[in-house]
Chain A
Amino acid sequence: MSETVKHSGKTSPEQITYANMLFYGCWTGLAIMVVTYTLYVTGIITPHIPLQKVPLLWSEPVGTYLELGVVPRGWGWTALIAQGDFLNFIGIVLLASMTLISYIPLVPAYLKRGEKGFALMAVAEILVLAFAASGIVGGGAH
């Protein structure tokens, strides 16, 4: 980053881009959540686990919930996306994906300025988040 940009108090262009992407993604995610949750609790879309059965499961450990609720692990929920409860995961996943997505433009931005170290850090962060999101590390529960 050039000295003039760094010390003038002016926000760097990549920071502005990151902020804009976060802004759109976050509020879209929250809006989707409100809509899907309304569809879910009003019963307009039938849930996978009947609403009156959820209170029996949420006080149990996650392993019991998955087993008795016949809930798939990892990305298996995509197969249940048409069910009222799992429809809510669209908004949740969008929120959880926003950081990874917002990091992508940082790589070319830093490379363009010759800041290979920061570009590498951005790539490493993308890989860490993608690894967490992949579900490779999501198996098993007590």
Chain B
Amino acid sequence: MKMDRLSLPAKIALFVLFGVLLFAVAAFASGNEAVSGAVANAGAEVAQSAAHLGAETGVAWWVWPTVLLFFCFILGIIAVLAGVGGGVLYVPLVSGFFPFHLDFVRGAGLMVALAGALAAGPGLLKRNFASLRLALPVALIASSCAIVGAFLGMALPTNVVQLCLGGTIMFIAILLLVSKNTAHPVVTKQDALSMALGMDGAYNDPATGELVQWKTHRTLPGLLLFIIIGLMAGMFGLGAGWANVPVLNLLMGAPLKVAVGTSKFLLSITDTSAAWVYLNKGCVIPLMAIPSIIGLMLGSFVGVRLLAKAKPTFIRYMVIGVLLFSGGKALLKGLGI
């Protein structure tokens, strides 16, 4: 890929990006008076304030980020082998077994899901496994609702969110257990809304060498379900691949490869809107968020290479077991048990 292949609008957009970065640097250089005032004495204040929380934890600061890096590396491998996104495993497991508050786990979970989706997006789009035309209307609904979901998640008491999270995770485990996706669903008639939105296309299947044509049906109920999916993605910081795929494949009739590809790409849009809410609320602590992102990305690369040798059925059942366990733990935590 070369820079000169980018079209003029793309170059303009990159220019805007540099503008945003320059703005950030300028904002820093000029200094926001109120914030700068706070910053001046911040070191001493932070040390003083943290003293209110008691003595040191007794564990060196680098221990948990290091454990998290390796944990997320393993999680990345398992997620790829099981065909689920990282966020759906990350949030219940890290909130259950690490000392981080749920607010920060959800913030990091969204960043993890976002980074994975952004990394996968280009390849899926270029091979036509992700369809921009299918994603655009769906993404608009889901990302708007993800903002509302993020607000709900931040406004509700932590134990209520834990309870809902536990229930959702157990529901996902059951969904994974019972749902049987179809490689090529039969769509006899494309509905009017699907035709109006141009929700059809074709891709070259490398496995068979065939050109697979596809179109969708039951578009309106499918779009309506993305309201709920967006809300849940924002509320729990989960990503929502587990819900996108069945809706796109089983309900709307997109071929499995298009459903999986478009779902992964959709996460990059849905999770962006929710991630911004968590970012603006201060729910991203770099010390724990960055090892999570890097660990999961590295694990995903290894996972893709192991995919050919692994036994997916065993991994699938293992993940269902882990989800049931971590969902149950979140439920108990929510109940204060």
Contact = CB atoms under 8 A, between A and B. Distances in A.
Chain A interface mostly helix, strand, loop or mixed? helix
B181 interface: no
Interface string A54-83: 111111111001111111111110111111
A56 B54 contact: yes
Given A54-B285, A58-B288, A68-B49, A30 B213 contact: no
A72 B280 CA distance: 9
A6 B282 contact: no
Interface residues of B, number: 107
A84 B291 CA distance: 15
Interface residues of A, number: 103
Nearest to B110: A96
A12 B61 contact: no
B287 A51 contact: yes
Given A58-B104, A65-B285, A93-B24, A30 B294 contact: yes
Interface of B: 1, 5-7, 9-10, 12-14, 16-17, 20-21, 24-25, 27-28, 31-32, 35-36, 38-39, 42-43, 45-47, 49-50, 52-54, 56-57, 59-62, 64-65, 99-101, 103-104, 111, 114-115, 118-119, 121-123, 125-128, 132-133, 136-137, 139-140, 143-144, 147, 151, 154-155, 157-158, 196-198, 200-204, 211-213, 268-269, 272-277, 279-291, 293-294, 297
Interface of A: 1, 6-27, 29-30, 33-34, 37, 40-41, 48-62, 65-76, 78-83, 85-86, 88-102, 104-109, 117-118, 121-122, 124-125, 128-129, 131-133, 135, 137-138, 140-142
